[in-house]
Amino acid sequence: MNRTVIRGGLVVTAAEEVHADVLVEGEKVVALASYGSGVAEGWTADRVLDARGLYVIPGGVDAHTHMELPFGGTSASDTFETGTRAAAWGGTTTIVDFAVQSVGSSLREGLDTWHAKAQGACAIDYGFHMILADVTEHSLKEMDLLVAEGVTSFKLFMAYPGVFYSDDGKILRAMQRGAENGGLIMMHAENGIAIDVLVEQALAAGKTDPRYHGEVRRELLEAEATHRAIKLAQVAGSPLYVVHVSAASAVAELAAARRQGLSVFGETCPQYLFLSTDNLAEPGFEGAKYVCSTPLRPREHQAELWKGLRTGDLQVVSTDHCPFCFSGQKELGRGDFSKIPNGLPGVENRMDLLHQAVVEGRISRRRWIEIACAAPARMFGLYPRKGTIAPGADADIVLYDPAARQTLSAATHHMNVDYSAYEGKEVTGKVRTVLSRGAVVIDDGAYLGRAGHGRYQPRATCQYLD
């Protein structure tokens, strides 16, 4: 069996930091040996990776991506092939993408369609959540089958009436089912019915620029929906995971629920931590590049999100990677912000941006690994196969240079999209080498992986509830 030794690095996991050598056999980590123990001296290997001066960290787990998602008459511009390759460049070795149930179709049809898109295409490992767009007696029963085959989380929408939207009764039924079968309900918490009224009024008043996207999707309507989702989950006796939290008042709702002892979890994304309504207001039509939902908020909200990540009221940072090119896709909304496809590219940037937060003293190194690797793996039933470096874990490992400097740019990124949301931003820290299940997929500026290396990952149920 192929043996690799990673020598001389600082191994950082969510639990500890230790100077240690790591032995990989085939696809798995088999041993760690701390310096001076003498243990690693006896290791023979086919390949030695020199990690002196580098961090040795678990590959990132991005639990929220939308490769090839059909949305607003177009499709997200990254395929499973291009998107997972870009993820690897950025040190992410697992994604959990969203299979979509269309209204009138079964969960099975949706899941099969997404399997067909991803099969043979991915550079790194992948799993699926299921978007429940049509809660019926049949789809509720299907939830049980999906949980049994490793699709253990279901996303519902309080937004997008007529597309993905579920009313409170449907949400309650799905939560009740999740409480029984162990499926975790993920919620897009915005009051879409009220938002649509404000959209209509804004457009009628001639307010058509991208910045109005942020104005009509009011913070209060995120907080209200978050509160309502929490109460519905409480009634159903189910846990709840709120996706892409952007408003300070929504964080407060989560924090209050957690203080009551409820199993309520929250995710935020790099765009809410680093970008703001200032970007949405950029002149010309540039603001369209930053249109996503929930929307970017005024800069003051960032401090509350960082605080939530430090206190543990927010547990996960995912990207909600859903790229649309500025040219030809975002431009569909010229003259009507409501027609701008919702979504930002980011799957390649998450590990670096969160490391930058370590550099700036916002979070610790171990918290970086926790929110980007370990917690998403635990939340979605992939731990400890993913999200840590330990004997028995998959050898998804990143050698990370904490001192390298880089400038984020569309000119150098690998996502299939014609702009970067972080164009020109300088960050300290860069991926040197990436292993996916023992195979080197990125090394020193070269992509060595292949489409089809990535394998489907059936998942256990949420491991925060055990």
Residue 396 interacting with Zn ion (CB under 5 A): no
Is residue 400 helix, strand or coil? strand
User: Look-up: residue for tokens 């090839």?
Assistant: 68
Work out how close the CB of 130 gets to Zn ion at its nearest, in angstroms, rounded to a whole number.
Answer: 13
- As given in the structure block, the two tokens for residue 449 are 């992986």
Nearer to Zn ion, 51 or 96 (CB): 96
Number of residues that bind Zn ion (CB under 5 A): 1
- Can you tell me which residue has the tokens 């290396």? 453
Q: Which is nearer to Zn ion, 97 or 394 (CB)?
A: 97
Q: How many residues does the chain have?
A: 466
**260: Cβ contacts below 8 Å, ≥ 6 apart:** none
- By beta-carbon proximity to Zn ion, the closer residue of 93 and 319 is 319
Nearer to Zn ion, 98 or 274 (CB): 98
- Kindly state the tokens that stand for 402: 């904490």
Q: Could you tell me the smallest distance in angstroms from the CB atom of residue 165 to Zn ion?
A: 14
Give the integer Cα–Cα distance in Å for 88 and 435: 9
Minimum CB distance to Zn ion smaller for 68 or for 320:
320
CB of 345 to Zn ion, least distance (A): 13
The window from 124-132, 141-149, 264-272, 312-320 that contacts Zn ion (CB under 5 A) reads: 312-320
- Find the shortest distance in angstroms from Cβ 330 to Zn ion: 17
Q: Positive or negative, the Cα torsion across 202, 207, 212, 213?
A: positive
**Per CB under 5 A, 190 contacts Zn ion:** no
- Chain centroid to Cα 100, Å, comes to 16
459 half-sphere exposure, CB direction, 13 A CA radius: 32
Min dist CB 185 to Zn ion, Å, is 15
* 281 Rama class: left (phi>0) / alpha (psi -120 to 50) / beta: alpha
State which residue has the least CB distance to Zn ion: 320
Would you say 187 or 236 has its CB closer to Zn ion? Answer: 187
For the CB of residue 243, give the shortest distance to Zn ion in the complex, in Å. 6
Is residue 320 part of the contact set for Zn ion (CB under 5 A)? Answer: yes
Q: Which range of residues in 9-17, 135-143, 209-217, 317-325 is near Zn ion by CB under 5 A?
A: 317-325
What is the C-alpha separation between 205 and 226, in angstroms, rounded?
Answer: 29
**Nearest Cα residue to 270 out of 42, 65, 130:** 65
Minimum gap (Å) between residue 205 Cβ and Zn ion: 29
- Closest CB to Zn ion among residues 164, 400: 164
Nearer to Zn ion, 320 or 370 (CB): 320
**Could you give the CA distance from residue 22 to residue 394 in angstroms, rounded to a whole number?**
12
Give the nearest distance from C-beta 453 to Zn ion in angstroms: 25
The helix (H) or strand (E) run that includes residue 438 is none
Give the range of 166-174, 201-209, 260-268, 313-321 binding Zn ion by CB under 5 A: 313-321
User: Which residue number, 100 or 124, has a Cβ lying nearer to Zn ion?
Assistant: 100
Provide the minimum distance between the beta carbon of 296 and Zn ion in the complex, in angstroms, as a whole number.
15
Structure-token pair, residue 275: 């970008």
Rounded distance between C-alpha atoms, residue 424 and residue 124, angstroms: 27
22-61: contacts with Zn ion (CB under 5 A): none
d(Cα 399, Cα 361) in Å, to the nearest integer?
21
Stretch binding Zn ion (CB under 5 A), from 5-13, 109-117, 315-323, 373-381 = 315-323
Alpha-carbon torsion 273, 220, 315, 180, what sign? negative
- Binding residues vs Zn ion (CB under 5 A): 320
